[in-house]
Structure 1
Amino acid sequence: MVSPRYNDLGVITMAIAREYVKALIDRLSDEQVQALWVILNSMAWPTEKVSPEEAADIEESFAEIDAGKGIKAEDVWRELGV
């Protein structure tokens, strides 16, 4: 559908593809749009680099979860009043 080359009228095809995608989005439910927003946001913005300290914290958190030391969702919900 989308041609990457300009002389194949890829510019026009890309414009049509963008309009088609926008029309599809209009057909989605609010929940689907929210999910799509998360996906598109991660694609559109570059990811930040993780420092060695942050990477160590993440690894430690995963190790705690694997060891069964995670926080129960119900406890978090209760704390947040959900």
Structure 2
Amino acid sequence: MAVPRECVKALIDRLSDEQVQALWVILESMAWPVEKVSPEEAAEIKEALAEIEAGKGVKAEDVWKEFGI
């Protein structure tokens, strides 16, 4: 049984501002689901993080300089 949007909107109108904020966080995560990371992407992320931790990362200032920013 589908819930009419009007019923949901009426319930939202009865919530406090704090409750609406909490609901917004929940609804946003439902409306914008997190993309799944492939095993290859996970490996690339892990490698990049290891390089950063080892001090091999590129400084933002160097990138900005390269692009003239």
**What TM-score do you get using the length of structure 1 for normalisation?**
0.50
Q: Kindly report structure 1 stretches of 4+ aligned residues shifted beyond 3 Å.
A: none
Unaligned runs of 5+ in 2: 1-6, 18-24
Closer/same/farther in 2, CA of residues 15 and 74 from structure 1, 3 Å limit: same
Query: Once the 2 structures are TM-superposed, how far is the Cα of residue 16 of structure 1 from its aligned partner?
Result: 6.9
Q: Please tell me the residue identity of whatever aligns with 2:50.
A: A
Q: Aligned-pair RMSD on alpha carbons?
A: 2.8
1:14-40 Cα shifts (integer Å, max 9, x gaps): 1476xx7xxxxxxxxxxxxxxxxxx9x
1:75 alignment partner in structure 2: 62
Alignment length, in residue pairs?
52
Aligned to 2:12: 14
Matches within 5 A, 1:30-69: 43=29, 44-69=31-56
Unaligned runs of 5+ in 1: 1-8, 21-38
What fraction of aligned residue pairs are identical, expressed as a percent?
A: 56
TM-score (norm. length: structure 2): 0.58
Cα deviation, 1:28-70, whole Å, max 9, x if unaligned, reads xxxxxxxxxxx9xx73311111010100000000000000000
Specify which structure has the higher proportion of helix: 1
Separation (CA, whole Å) in 2 of partners of 1:16 and 1:56: 47
